[in-house]
Amino acid sequence: MAERRTAYDVLIIGSGLAGLTVALQLPEHLRVAILSKGTLTEGATPYAQGGVSAALDAADSVEAHVADTLDAGAGLNDPETTRFVAERARSAVAWLVDQEVPFSRINPGAGTEGLHLHREGGHSHRRVVHAEDATGAAISRSLSGLVAERANIDLLEGRYAVDLITGARLGEATNRCYGAYALDAASGDVELISAPFVVLACGGASKVYQYSTSPYAATGDGIAMAWRAGCRVGNLEFNQFHPTCLYHPQERSFLISEAVRGEGGYLRLPDGERFMHRFDERGELAPRDIVARAIDYEMKRLGAECVYLDISHRPAEVIEERFPTILQRCLELGFDMRTEPLPVVPAAHYTCGGVLTDRAARTDVPGLYAVGETACSGLHGANRLASNSLLECLVFGAEAARDIANTPLPGRIPQLPPWDESRVTDSDEQVVVSHNWAELRRALWNYVGIVRSDRRLERAARRIDLLAREVHEYYSHFRITGDLIELRNLIGVAELTVRCAGRRRESRGLHYTLDFPGHDPGQAANTVLVPARPRPFGSLRARGGG
């Protein structure tokens, strides 16, 4: 296959809010590439229904936002980072308003004045800025349009990042990042993209679970690539399960927004009884980890396939005004939330852990940044507060752009080796990839889900080890595909998740284990895994990026 090389100043892997924020806030003299597995708007951002949390109401405050975030995070948030983000929330929303994102308003005032604010679970005030119930889609449309107009930004769609190129892999003493290999899905060619600054904005890893609200692109690519490149990762035991995914065979990933409960929705058992008050005094407005565990408990206790989310007691015009997208999709599936409850179940939703970063979004590898769900910034701790995810993307996307702009470009980039396919062939057994993908996701759902135990984790570890060996053998002998790249990354993140979960000998936040059901104040520290130094390319069997 023909080798293709491309050189940029900044390579951004991922086209969601985190990546677009970095791209738009970088100086226009820098040449920037945005790598996207699909089209520019196929990341997780368009699926975000809720909004961006910010203390804008006169009755609210930065202190209250910080307190709510720390409470949800169960003592593992970094307090300074949490305040750092909360203090920048107003300016982050103002930046989106300046980009003409069409937020919902209660009056046509300019700037951030007059914005309508939702209240969501875990928040003590109304502070969620939104665009009806399709905030992520509105943000994505606005920012994607602006990115497409920038002459200094190239959009590389249909590309799968394969691996990062670093100094250690070139045999250098300093493990600096110099770029990445990327598969062009249309041609099958692997491109060498050099860049002295690389930003991982690849999203999370929720697709490691059988049931998930995330798009299919959420396969942990950034976390897995960063680990292989020599970055520490942390807190991967904290996988957030959204409590209310619509229970329907045709829509296994359709999320019913947190804001439905924020606007007065009740959770009910199949017989109509409300139950959340038995688990938390905040009822339906308790943080997501508490609500998801409560639903999981009741479903298992009753042998029920689902519970029900009921907002039919609210005026129909309120539902039509505030949840038009959810209402329309539910009507298409045969449910009218204005007159009847919706069947819901928990589903994997968000990866609270990830690649360890500082407040400039820098990782352990010089020149490599991680932003958004890929990163473990210190904001979320053991459980993410609703609508802090888009805020995190905005704040740290801006910080990454600022740090890159203030860092001089390196004097030289060494000669980078081309992708080596000299000892691989085309596979005639693609079924191996699909079968292993399904087996991995079932194992994580069954053994590393909402409720865990040592025995379940051991079972998961054994299955992951077998799958990892099989996929490594497959990867070493056959030409890569997008599905194989994603499966390799999912297996890597699954193994790291089980390791993190096994180290936490308590129940805290999103990690609940039957063997240690209590909260241990002595374990109020992040779970951090440290990788071995990456091997030089020359020591690998089949290819430069293996």
Strand 239-246 and strand 342-351: the pairing is antiparallel
| Residue closest to 443 by CA, chosen among 471, 472, 463 | 463
Angle at 381 between CA 375 and CA 382, to 5 degrees: 115
Q: Is 456 a catalytic residue?
A: no
The C-alpha atoms of residue 486 and residue 219 are separated, in whole angstroms, by: 6
Identify the three-state secondary structure at position 362: strand
Burial of 214 (0-12, 13-18, 19+ CB in 10 A): buried
Identify the three-state secondary structure at position 123: coil
Burial of 423 (0-12, 13-18, 19+ CB in 10 A): exposed
The strands making up 177-184's β-sheet, listed across from edge to edge, are: 4-7, 190-194, 177-184, 159-166
Give me the helix-helix angle, 388-406 and 89-98, nearest 10°: 80
Identify the three-state secondary structure at position 498: helix
Inter-residue contact 378 to 81 (CB < 8 Å):
yes
Inter-residue contact 512 to 527 (CB < 8 Å):
no
Catalytic residue (choose from 288, 504, 508, 543)? 288
Give buried/exposed letters for 317-328 (b at 16+ CB in 10 A, else e).
eebeebbeebbe
**What is the SS3 string spanning 232-275?**
CEECCCCEEEEEEEECCCCCCCCECCHHHHHCCCEEECCCCCEC
The C-alpha atoms of residue 347 and residue 327 are separated, in whole angstroms, by: 20
| Residue closest to 362 by CA, chosen among 347, 382, 342, 376 | 376
Which amino acid does the sequence have at 260? V
The C-alpha atoms of residue 432 and residue 293 are separated, in whole angstroms, by: 34
The H-assigned helical ranges of 422-525 are 431-447, 454-477, 482-503
The C-alpha atoms of residue 249 and residue 268 are separated, in whole angstroms, by: 21
Q: Is 290 left (phi over 0), alpha (psi -120 to 50) or beta?
A: alpha
- CA 5 to chain CA centroid, nearest Å: 29
| Residue closest to 85 by CA, chosen among 456, 357, 463 | 357
Burial of 434 (0-12, 13-18, 19+ CB in 10 A): exposed
- Give the residue numbers marked as catalytic: 288
